[in-house]
Amino acid sequence: MTATASDIPAALHFRFFTFEVLRTRRIGHSFLRVTFGGESLADFRSGGFDQSLSLFLPPADREHTELPSTDADTWFGAWREMPDEERPVMRSYTVREQRRTDAGVDEVDIDFVLHGDSSPASRWAGGAVTGRRIMAIGPAVAQNKSVRFQPPAATDSLLMYADETALPAAAAILERLEAGTPVKAWFEVPHEDDRIDLHTPADLDVTWIVRAADTGRERAERVVEEIRSADLPAGATPYAWLAGEAGTIRAVRRHLVQERSVDRRAVRFTGYWRLGASEEQLLAEAYAGQAASEDPTAEL
């Protein structure tokens, strides 16, 4: 089950790629899968599991992404200095799958959550057509620091929580687990028909939490109550992977550590978004070093 970080310097883990839309497919009420190709994907090296990358989505009036620089030392400053109406939107997503087809074509699937035009990513994905090109910063080595699923070698069972934003990552993890691994998962989605088919060799017990109008503290409490009422796998050394809305995953982490005595060092928690904060705010916090710690040893 163990994934390991690369010994290659972190600065060499990532590079720019050009992604071209090959096709799209609706896979649920809220999910759209976009399949990308492009010559540069021959050098793309997803580490699997919850591999993340950054997409640069063009403004609404542009078909393709254009960046003033893709140089490792200058791109960020050049991107930030672009006029607001011209600056591509940067968003983090999970590689759902990478493959090479029988015809020798390299493809990458990314699943988008659709909620109309209320966000730039949803708006772009909803209008994605074959031939559209975007830029991405992605992995150039398979063992890279953006694969957060890193269970200790002694792990004998897995606990998972994900909302719809993290469900593609959770599904990718499940596909890669060792046969028979005991897994208890809670997956939260907006609609009944967002409960996707999950394929895994693991011994999976999943509870679907279909969200109604819960927000804020009520939403976190509902999730924790679902987990509190469940029996956990019998393993002595579980590993917990939690991803989604930041406030909710912190509440789940607190429950697992304080009430279920899960070792806090064996809990990986990642806030994909936060209620009340825009993605631009979260991005600014991350680059300013103000983002909330995801260190497993951090205080509850």
Bridge partners (DSSP) listed for residue 210: 189
pLDDT score recorded for residue 288: 59
At residue 35, does pLDDT exceed 60?
A: yes
Q: Span 229-251, mean pLDDT?
A: 93
Q: Span 79-98, mean pLDDT?
A: 95
pLDDT score recorded for residue 180: 95
Average pLDDT, the chain: 90
Residue entry with tokens 């899968």? 33
Residue 277 — pLDDT band, cuts 50, 70, 90? low
Q: pLDDT, tens digit, for every residue of 148-192?
A: 999 999 999 999 999 999 999 999 999 999 999 999 999 999 999
Residue 116 — pLDDT band, cuts 50, 70, 90? confident
Q: Please tell me the distance from the alpha carbon of residue 271 to that of residue 292, in angstroms, as a whole number.
A: 9
**Helix crossing, 216-228 with 246-254: angle to 10°?**
40
Task: Read off φ and ψ for residue 193, nearest 5 degrees.
Answer: -85, 20
Residue 276 — pLDDT band, cuts 50, 70, 90? low
The stretches of the chain forming alpha helices (DSSP H) are 75-80, 120-126, 167-175, 216-228, 246-254, 279-287
Strand stretches in the chain, DSSP E: 14-26, 31-37, 52-57, 89-94, 97-100, 106-113, 133-139, 157-162, 182-189, 203-210, 238-245, 267-273
| CA triple 84-86-92, angle to 5 deg | 80
pLDDT score recorded for residue 77: 95
Residue 275 — pLDDT band, cuts 50, 70, 90? confident
At residue 291, does pLDDT exceed 70?
A: no
Q: Please tell me the distance from the alpha carbon of residue 110 to that of residue 133, in angstroms, as a whole number.
A: 14
CA 284 vs CA 146, 281, 289: distances in Å: 18, 5, 9
Structure tokens at 153: 């070698």
Residues 29 and 148: beta-carbon distance below 8 Å: no
At residue 258, does pLDDT exceed 90?
A: yes
3-state secondary structure of 30: coil
Residues 294 and 250: beta-carbon distance below 8 Å: no
Residue 249 — pLDDT band, cuts 50, 70, 90? very high
Residue entry with tokens 């997409």? 55
Q: Span 72-77, mean pLDDT?
A: 93
Q: pLDDT, tens digit, for every residue of 128-142?
A: 999 999 999 999 999
Which of 42, 48, 37 is CA-nearest to residue 94? 48
At residue 289, does pLDDT exceed 70?
A: no
Q: Please tell me the distance from the alpha carbon of residue 140 to that of residue 98, in angstroms, as a whole number.
A: 13
Radius of gyration over every alpha carbon of the chain, rounded to an integer in angstroms: 19
Structure tokens at 237: 């050394």
Q: Please tell me the distance from the alpha carbon of residue 217 to that of residue 277, in angstroms, as a whole number.
A: 15
Q: Please tell me the distance from the alpha carbon of residue 37 to that of residue 106, in angstroms, as a whole number.
A: 6
Residue 117 — pLDDT band, cuts 50, 70, 90? confident
Q: For residue 145, give the amino acid letter.
A: K
Residue 215 — pLDDT band, cuts 50, 70, 90? low
Query: pTM of the prediction?
Result: 0.90
pLDDT score recorded for residue 27: 93
| CA triple 50-256-299, angle to 5 deg | 85
Residue entry with tokens 């550590």? 257
Please name each of the domains of the chain with its CATH number.
10-139 (2.40.30.10), 157-287 (3.40.50.80)
The conformational region for residue 48 under phi > 0 = left, psi -120 to 50 = alpha, else beta, is left
Residue 26 — pLDDT band, cuts 50, 70, 90? very high
Task: Read off φ and ψ for residue 60, nearest 5 degrees.
Answer: -60, -25
pLDDT score recorded for residue 217: 57
